[in-house]
Amino acid sequence: MLKVVGIMMLGVLSGYLLRNRSLRWVSKAIMVAIWLLLFLLGVAVGNNAEIMDHLDTIGWSGLLLAVGGVLGSVLMAWGVYRFFFQGKDKSTLA
Partner 1 sequence: MKGSLIIVAFFVVGLLGARWGLVPSELLEQDFTQYALYGLMFLVGIQIGSDRKALQALKEQNLRIVLVPLATVTGTWLGSAGVSLFLPGMSLKDCLAVGSGFGYYSLSSIFITEYRGAELGTIALTANILREIITLLGAAVMVRFFGRLAPICSGGATTMDTTLPVITRYSGKEFVVISLFHGFVVDFSVPFLVTFFARG
Residues 44-73 contacting partner 1, CB under 8 A: 44-48, 50-52, 54-55, 57-59, 61-73
| Cα(47)–Cα(57) distance, integer angstroms | 18
Give yes or no for residue 87 binding partner 1 (CB under 8 A): no
CA-atom Rg of the chain in angstroms: 21
Residues in 12-51 that interact with partner 1 by CB under 8 A: 12-19, 23, 26-27, 29-31, 33-48, 50-51
Q: Is 87 left (phi over 0), alpha (psi -120 to 50) or beta?
A: left
Cβ atoms of 45 and 52 closer than 8 Å: yes
